[in-house]
């Protein structure tokens, strides 16, 4: 799997908060700004604090986030779908925002997840630098590995600011990615059912 995440500790070379703030000052000066003007005096601190939140996915364990599963499902074994999960991410190529929605489904094999756990998994991977394709695959793999259902389906639909704000400058265009495992991968009818449920209102 691409984008394997290794935690960086201070001993392993992770920069300090002060070093991060100095890096922001360097970027501001490179952009042509006067870092001594009033409006920018606290910007390095604000940016470092914002980055700690925006990239918090590096410091959260997927296994811990998925947590407890439930076996008392009353015999239910059909699709569990959580759709329209909003997320904000950043692309690894330009570090510009990616804004979209994820739709995540699985076919239980005797156990189910708390519904909020699925949204949490989306957030964990969204709050890391990567491509949309990688994020889509990581969400599916995390649920597949930790829950071991009969199959997982993930669809991500997002707008990339690196296309809207710079380069080709095509705002409003979105990118759609999907990943299927197990029965969703092997059975075209299950894929169609997933797509139909996602798009039906």
Q: Tell me if 94 is assigned to a ligand binding site.
A: yes
- Is 162 annotated as belonging to a binding site? yes
CA distance readout (Å), 53 to 32, 88, 112, 140, 161: 27, 11, 29, 23, 19
Structural contact between residues 131 and 92, judged by C-beta atoms closer than 8 angstroms: yes
pLDDT of residue 71: 82
Element (H, E) at 50: helix 43-54
CATH class of domain segment(s) 64-199:
alpha beta
The yes-or-no answer on residue 159 being catalytic is no
Residues of the chain with CATH 3.30.1130.10: 64-199
Would you call 91 a catalytic residue per the annotation? yes
* 27-31 average pLDDT score: 97
Helix (H) / strand (E) containing 18:
helix 17-31
Range with lowest mean pLDDT among 48-57, 87-96, 98-107, 164-173: 164-173
Annotation marks residue 138 as catalytic: no
The rounded percent of the chain whose pLDDT value lies above 90 is 74
CA 159 to chain CA centroid, nearest Å: 13
What Cα–Cα distance (Å) separates residue 102 from each residue in 13, 123, 126, 158, 165?
A: 33, 10, 10, 8, 22
Q: Which residues, other chains included, contact 17 with Cβ-Cβ below 8 Å and sequence gap of 6+?
A: 48
Confidence at residue 76, expressed as pLDDT on a 0 to 100 scale: 85
Active site residue 162: yes
Cα(153)–Cα(151) distance, integer angstroms: 7
Catalytic residue among 21, 130, 132, 183: 132
User: Whole-structure pTM over 0.95, yes or no?
Assistant: no
Name the catalytic one among 94, 133, 159, 191.
94
Active site residue 169: no
Q: What residue spans in the chain does CATH classification 1.10.286.10 cover?
A: 10-54
Q: Exactly one of 33, 141, 159, 162 is catalytic; name it.
A: 162
Fold of 10-54: GTP Cyclohydrolase I; Chain A, domain 1 (1.10.286)
Verify whether residue 160 is a known catalytic residue: yes
Averaged pLDDT of the chain: 91
What average pLDDT does range 54-58 have in this prediction?
94
What's the pLDDT score for residue 12? 67
């Amino acid at each position: 799997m691409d984008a394997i995440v290794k935690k960086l500790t201070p001993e392993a070379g992770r920069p300090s908060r002060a070093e991060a703030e100095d890096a922001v000052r360097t970027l501001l000066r490179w952009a042509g700004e006067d870092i001594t003007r009033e409006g920018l005096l606290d910007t390095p601190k604000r940016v470092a604090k914002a980055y700690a939140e925006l990239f918090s996915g590096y410091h959260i364990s997927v296994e811990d986030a998925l947590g407890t599963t439930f076996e008392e499902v009353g015999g239910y074994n059909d699709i569990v779908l959580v759709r329209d999960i909003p997320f904000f991410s950043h692309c690894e190529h330009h570090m510009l925002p990616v804004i979209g929605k994820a739709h995540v489904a699985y076919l239980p094999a005797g156990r189910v997840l708390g519904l909020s756990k699925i949204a949490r998994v989306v957030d964990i991977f969204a709050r890391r630098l990567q491509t949309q394709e990688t994020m889509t695959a990581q969400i599916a793999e995390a649920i597949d590995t930790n829950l071991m259902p009969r199959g997982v389906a993930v669809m991500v639909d997002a707008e990339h600011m690196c296309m809207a704000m710079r380069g080709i400058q095509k705002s409003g265009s979105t990118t759609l990615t999907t990943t299927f495992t197990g029965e969703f991968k092997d059975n075209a009818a299950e894929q169609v059912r997933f797509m139909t449920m996602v798009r039906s209102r």
